[in-house]
Structure 1
Amino acid sequence: MTAVMREPVSLPTRQRPRPPLAGAARSAASVIPGAARTAGPDIPGAAGVSLRDLLDPPRTPGRVIAAFPAALYLEMRTAAEPRVLAVVCSDAVRLPNSVVIAAGSRDRPLRSIHEGEEAWAGDGLVEVGALRVRVRRWWDPSPTLGPVALARLTHGVRELEAALADARFGLAGHPDPHLLAGRCADGDLAGAVEAAERIVGLGPGLTPSGDDVLAALLVALRALGGSVQHGRTALWLADWLGAAVTADAETRTTTLAATLLHCAADGQASAEVIAVLRGIAGLEPLAPALRRLLAAGHTSGADLAFGLLAGCRAVLTLSLTALKGHRASA
C-alpha cells in the first residue's frame, strides 16, 4: 500500500519495464502508432488523494488540454470528477488534482509535450508521449487545522485584510464577489447562491477569476467551519453552496475550473491555499504563505485570497452570532 503524505518527497528515478495492458486499454493502445515504443523511464510522482479513483483503476484515455513548462493539464474521458488531472513540476503551483513529479521546471521535463496529444491515466501511471509518471506517494489536499479559537481567527482575518489592501483582483469593480461575501456572512443561502451563480465562469483563462473566488470561499467555509466553536452554520452553507455551483459547472466554465470547483466543494485546495489557511489558524507564519499564493498566476492568487478572506469573515461572523445566541439562551 502506498503511503499518504502531507508533502510530496523527491525520489530517485527508476526504470521499470512497461506493464502489459489488458482489455480495452490494450485495444486502444494498439491503434496509437509507437505508443508502447516511445515511452521513457518512469518518473516518480506524488498524487493528490482526490485522484485515487482515476489512477488506481485500469487505464483511461484522455488528451492534453494545456501544456506549459511547469504543468500539463489532461482531460480524461470519464464522467466522474476530477475529470482534469494536472502533472506539475516540483516548483509549480500544486493544485488538488495534481501529480507532482520529482523534477523542477528548470529541468524542462515537460518540454516535449504539446496540447492535443493523447494521454493515459490508470494502473498507477500517467503517460503522455514519452513521459511516464508512476505514482509513488499520495498527498492530502484537504486542510487539517485542528481547533481554532475565534480570537485567533479574528487576528488572522485582520492580517489577511492588511495584506490584500493593494492586491490586484481579476474582478475588481464587479459587485457580485462583495455581494457574495456579504450574503455568506449573513447566512443568507438563497442570496449567496444567486450571487455565486453570476460569477461561475466569469473572467478569462483556464481558471476564471469568479471560479477562483468561489473555490477558495468553499474551502475556507468547510475547513474553518469544522475547526471553530459554533461553526455548524458555515458548514451548512458550504454544503449547499458547493452543491449549487457544481451542479452544472461543466457547462458554464472551463473543464479545469469545473474540476477545481468539485474539489473545493469536497474541501480540497491547492498547497498554497492550504498554507494560508494554516497561517490564519496560527499553525505557520502567514506572511510568507500569502506571498506564495499572491504570486500564483496573473490574478489567480489574489482572487483565491479574496475568496479566503470572504470565507474567513463569514465563518467568524456566523460563529460569533451563534455564540451570542447560545449565551442568550443559557
Structure 2
Amino acid sequence: MPSDRHPAAPRVLAGAVSPLTADLVHGPRRTAEVLATGRVGTYLRVGERVLPVLGPDAVALPTALRVVDALDPAGLHAGAAVLVGGGEVVLPSVTVTAARTWRPARVPTGRLGPDDGRVASLLEAATTAAPAWLVDGVTAAATATDPDPATRSLVGRGPGLTPSGDDALAGALLLRRAAGMPDADLAAAVRRRLGATTAVSAALLEGALDGWATPDVVALVTAVARADAAAVTTLLPAVLAVGHTSGRDLVTGLAATLAVLAPTGRIAA
C-alpha cells in the first residue's frame, strides 16, 4: 500500500551576506569543503577563500554569511562537501539563502591622539597573562628593519582556528591603520606567511590587512588610536571575551604596537 508520508521539505533560512564574500554566494554553484563546524556556525573553503556561515551567537566576522536562527550541525564535519552559489549555501540539514546584504565594520584611517598613559595602562592591565613571546614578537615585528623573522615566529603559532600569534598581528595591523601609520614591509611579510596558518585565520589576517574586523574590535581599535580611555574601558570586556584567548591576544597586539608608536616612558610590569 503506498505511503501518504512524504520527505520533509529542506529547512530554508534567510541570511545576510557580506559584500566581501557576496561574489562567492551569488556566483556559480560549486562544491565547497567544510573546514570546521561548531555550535555557532561553520567555516567553508570555497576555492582559495573562506566563507563563514554563522548563527546569531557568533561574533560578526567581516566575511560572514549571517543567519538569524541557529544552524543545525547535523551532517556537518570537517572535510564534508556542501554547495555554495546561486545565492545560497546548501548544507545537509538546511539551505541558507542570501536574502540581503549587511555592512561589515572597518577601521577608519586616522591618527594617534595624545595619550597621557591611561590607555596604555588599560591595555597592559588587560594582558598581564599574555606570554612573553607574544609581546616580544609583536614588538620585534613593529621595530625591526626586516619584519620577516618576527613574522615567521608569530604566524600560525598557538592552538586553535586562530592561533595567538595571528590574533596579535591582527591587532597590530589594525592599530597601525587607525593611527595612520601603515607598515608596508610588515604587511608584505604577513601576506607571505598566510600559508603557514589555518585557512580560517589566514582569512581573518587578510581582512585585518585591509582594516576589516568585528564591530567590537573596530570600535576598540578606534578608541585606542584616539586615546579615548573612557571608551577603551567600556569596550575592552567584549573584546577580551572573544574565544579562549583570541580577544586577549589581539589586545596584546594593540598594547605592544601602541608602546612602539606612542611610547610613554613607562615600563610595563
TM-score, normalised by the number of residues in structure 2:
0.82
Conserved 8 A contact 1:117-1:128: no
Question: Over residues 145-174 of structure 1, what are the superposed CA-to-partner deviations in whole Å (9 max), with x where a residue is unaligned?
Answer: 7x5552159543333223x154x33xx132
What's the counterpart of residue 135 of structure 2? 177
What's the counterpart of residue 142 of structure 1? 106
Conserved 8 A contact 1:44-1:133: yes
2:242 to 271, 285, 296: 296
> Mapping of 1:56-71 within 5 angstroms?
56-71=26-41
What's the counterpart of residue 89 of structure 1? 55
> Mapping of 1:213-292 within 5 angstroms?
213-225=168-180, 234-235=181-182, 237=183, 239-250=184-195, 252-280=196-224, 281=226, 282=228, 285-292=231-238
What's the counterpart of residue 127 of structure 1? 90
CA distance in 1, matches of 2:170, 2:194: 12
Question: Over residues 197-217 of structure 1, what are the superposed CA-to-partner deviations in whole Å (9 max), with x where a residue is unaligned?
Answer: 111111111111111111121
What's the counterpart of residue 31 of structure 1? none
Conserved 8 A contact 1:200-1:245: yes
Conserved 8 A contact 1:218-1:264: yes
What's the counterpart of residue 200 of structure 1? 155
Instruction: Report the residue type matching 1:195 in the other structure.
Output: A
Change (3 A) 1:313 1:216: same
Instruction: Report the residue type matching 1:140 in the other structure.
Output: P
Change (3 A) 1:277 1:173: closer
Give the structure with the higher percent helix: 1
Q: Does 1:48 align with 2:18?
A: yes
Conserved 8 A contact 1:74-1:84: yes
CA distance in 2, matches of 1:152, 1:47: 38
Gaps of 5+ in 2: 1-7, 264-269
Question: Over residues 262-314 of structure 1, what are the superposed CA-to-partner deviations in whole Å (9 max), with x where a residue is unaligned?
Answer: 11112211223113123323498323421111111111111111112223333
- What stretches of structure 1 move > 4 A for 4+ residues in a row? 152-155
What's the counterpart of residue 73 of structure 1? 43
Deviates more, 1:150-159 or 1:55-64: 150-159
Change (3 A) 1:71 1:189: farther
Question: What is the DSSP-based 3-state SS (H/G/I as helix, E as strand, rest coil) of the residue aligned with 2:243?
Answer: coil
Identity of aligned residues (%): 30
Equivalent pairs, count: 252
What's the counterpart of residue 166 of structure 2? 211
Conserved 8 A contact 1:84-1:255: yes
TM-score, normalised by the number of residues in structure 1:
0.68
Change (3 A) 1:210 1:122: same
